[in-house]
Amino acid sequence: MKKLFTSVLMGLAVLSSTACKHPGKEAETLTEAAPENKDEISKDVFTDNYGEKIEVTINHTKNTATVHLEGKTYDLKKSDALPEYTASNEEYQYSDIKGNITLLKKNVDMVLFHAKRDPKGSGSTKMASY
């Protein structure tokens, strides 16, 4: 009787361990993927005459610019009222006008960075092809 009881318990243990697996649950979690970032983003690094570098990341989808200069980060919003690409916040203004890259501190009219875009290496020259 003890042998029968022990073998029944062992059989139930094996059955319950295999019956608890739900392959449908695992399939559900695999199909949930993180949404892809579909923002149109461009990154550029510019160097001025003194060797200082500025890194500019422009999100064309959200109309924002993030500027990194000397360990500081400036988050700016695109200004449609100003010419070409200009972005600003309350204190700072970034502009890329005719290849002149400028970061300006507005309240004191101080230029923090100024460089000219290299026409050969910029890749911004667009030509029509027919």
Is residue 63 within 8 A of residue 76, CB to CB? The reply is no
What distance in Å separates the CA atoms of residue 72 and residue 78, rounded to the nearest whole number? 19
pLDDT tens-place string over residues 89-124 = 999 999 999 999 999 999 888 999 999 987 654 444
The pLDDT of residue 67 is above 80? yes
Helix, strand, coil fractions of the chain, as percent rounded to 5: 25, 40, 40
Instruction: Select from 54, 40, 43, 39 the least CA-distant residue to 103.
Output: 54
What distance in Å separates the CA atoms of residue 94 and residue 71, rounded to the nearest whole number? 16
Structure pTM? 0.61
Is residue 6 within 8 A of residue 12, CB to CB? The reply is no
What distance in Å separates the CA atoms of residue 48 and residue 67, rounded to the nearest whole number? 15
Which position has the higher pLDDT, 121 or 63?
A: 63
Average pLDDT, the chain: 78
The pLDDT of residue 32 is above 70? no
The pLDDT-based confidence of 39 (bands split at 50, 70, 90) is: confident
Task: Please compute, for residue 45, the number of CA atoms within 13 A of its CA located in the half-sphere on the CB side.
Answer: 4
